[in-house]
A and B are shown apart, each in its own frame.
Chain A
Amino acid sequence: MNAAVKELEDFRREVASWLDANRPADPGFLLPQSFMEVGSEEQLDFLREWQHRVWSAGYLGMAWPREYGGQGVDAIYQSVVDQEMRRKAVPICFNVIGLGWAGPLINDIGTEEEKAKYLKGILSAEDIWCQGFSEPDHGSDLGNARTRAVREGDEYLINGSKIWTTLGNYARYMILLARTNPEAERKYDGLSFFLAPMTVDGIETRPIRKLTGEYGFTETFFTDARIPASSLMGEEGEGWKIAMKTLQYERGAEAGAAGGLAFVRIVIDDLVHELDDVTRGGRPVLEDPVMRDELVRLIIEEKAIALGDRRASIPALTSDYPLSLPLSHKLRWTEYTRRMRQFAIRAQGGDGALYVGDEDARAGGFWQRAYLNSFSATIGGGTSQVQANIVAEHVLGLPK
C-alpha cells in the first residue's frame, strides 16, 4: 500500500469511528428521507444540529477554501466522508441547496464579498438556503419565469410567486431567478439571478402538503418585497446562464458540492434484505423465477449506473458522446429509483397495501413512503421528460 492510499485508509477509519461515536440517537419521530421532506420544527432543529456537528468536526465542505469555513483539502477526502456517512446510514446534511448548488456556484463565480458573506453559513447550517426557480404556471420551463425584479435605487422590488420552494419556510436566503427586462428580444436575456434574503417584508411562504401527507415545500409569494441591489449575482441579463450553471450542479454534471448526504440512499441491497422473509405461493418470494428476473434486472440497472460513473472519467471510453454519462445521470438514477421502489411494494404481496401508521406495515411503511417520495426526484430539477429532451438535444444533437 503506498503512502497516499494508507493515509486515505487511516482517514476513513477516523471518520468511521467519529460517526460511531457521534451518531445521533433516534429522535422518536419520523426523519426525512431527503432534504425535500423537512416539514416540522423538530425535524429542522434535529437536522440543523447534526449538520453543524459534522461541519464542526471538519467533515463538511472539505474541498472548500479554509477562509470560508472549508478545510482546503482534496475532494477525495470529502468522498471518503460521504461514503462512510452512507455506509453508516447517519442522518442527512439537509442544507442541500446551499451545500450542493448555491455554494459551489458562489465558490466558482461569486465575488470575494459574496464568498465571505455566504459560504460559512451554508456549511454551519446557520443559513438555510432555498431555490426560487419554478413558478406555478411554468414548472420545468424556466425560460418563461414571470416574477419581476425592478431596480429602484439601491434596491430591487420583487413581485410574483415561486412554487416548490424546498425549505422555503425555514430559509434565510434564496437563489432567485427573476425577470429584470420583460422587453428583451430573447426571453432568456431578460432574466437575472439573485442571492436574495428571505427575511424582508413582502415575502410570504405557504407550506404545500405533499402526496405523502407530509410537508417540505412551500409556495412563495413576493408582494413589493425590497431586496438590496447588491444581491444581484453577476450582471442583469445573466440570469439564464447562471441558472443553467446551477442546474449542472443539481444534475450532478459538475463537481464542487460541499458534500454530505442529501438523501437517505436506498439501494437494491436494502430491497433484497427486505424481501428475505416474504413468501409467495408458499415459498420465499426470492425463489420465484419471475420475481428473480425482475430483481436481477434492477440489480443490473443499479450496477450499470455505478459503472457508468467510473467510465465517465475514462476519456477513451466516452469518445462517442462525451457528455452522455454526466448529463443522463439524473434521468437514469431517478427513474431507476422510482421503479425499484415500485417493485419493492409489489413484491411484498398483500402487505404492499399497508402504509406508514399501520402496525404491520413492512419496515413501518418505509418503501411505500419512499415510492411516493421518489416522484420528487423524477419531477423536481426538471422532469424526466425534460431531462430526456436535454439529453436528446445536447448529447445526441437532435433538433429542438
Chain B
Amino acid sequence: MKGKIIFLNIVFALCLSYSTFAFDDVDTHPRITNKAIENTNLDNYLIQNLGLKDGLKSKLPSGGKDSIVDWLKKGSTEEDSPICRASNHFHNPLKFWDQSGVSDQLSLISGWCSLTGYSTKYSNATWATGHLSPAPNGSKITISGQEMSWDNAKEYYHLALTSQSSTDRETNFAKTFQTLGQVIHLIEDMEVLDYVRRGA
C-alpha cells in the first residue's frame, strides 16, 4: 500500500513538473486572435471583394448568431483539441524543419499520442503548411489527420467561392475561417518561448 502511494506521488509530481507554459485555449488564444484580425484589412476585404456586406460581423450561416469573428475564435480555441494535436505546435528554429518538432516529450504523453493517431511530432511550420522545408521550393507532404492547415483553408475557400448552393458556400466559408483561426493559433504559439526552444 505504502509503495503504491509513493509511486502515485512520483507520477503526480512528474506530471506537474512537466507542464509547459502555454496560452490558455479558451481565453487567451481567442482574445489575441480578435486583436490580430482587428489590425488587418480583413473586414474591408470581406466587404469590398467577397460581397459580405457586414464584413467580420457577417453571420455564418446567415440568419444565425455566429459571426466570422466567432468562427476565427473557434478555430483558435480548437487547435488544441484533441490534446495530441498540440504535440505538433513546437518548432526549434535551429534545426531543419523535418527535425524541428518537439523532441523531449514525456514518454507517457508520447505513448498516449501514438495510441490516438499522433505518433509523428511535426514542426509547427510543417503542421501549419505541409512544408518540410521553407517555401517556395521546399518539399511538401500531406499529413494524415490534419484537415485544418493553411492548404485546407485555401481548399475550403475555393469551395466557398465555387459551390452551387448557398448552404454549401456558407458552410465552406465557416470552415475557411475556422481553419484560418487554427493556423493563427499556431502562429500565436510561436510567441511562447517554451514552444520554440528545444522541445517543451
**Is A bound to B?**
no
